[in-house]
Structure 1
């Protein structure tokens, strides 16, 4: 191999590594976004469950006082 071919091989490997790093960073960002969205959705579901539970308890207390 000539020096120019070796240099192009090294540059290609370095560019490929940089590209793979960029792809991994993008997928990590997307995974984090998806995880945050799922956590937010679960917090809303939990809050709604707590509200429904307290509302049922309130209605039971009101019926028992009447």
Structure 2
């Protein structure tokens, strides 16, 4: 089972954001994390089978985005 912080990270990723900076502000205010730390946690979650079981739609979408970015490099 995922912890509360991990679940909160995935919940933020499920949301759509109105403009630049809104997501980073929410990360700071709701989770108390820097953007860098947030993305480190998020990337680790994408490789965690518990995250996939908890929210397969979000995790699979983010895995596709990550793979596309890696291919472009």
The alignment's TM-score, normalised by the length of structure 2, stands at: 0.26
Query: Structure 1 or 2: larger helix share?
Result: 1
- Structure showing greater radius of gyration is 1
Question: Relative contact order: is structure 1 or structure 2 higher (C-alpha 8 Å, sep ≥ 6)?
Answer: 2
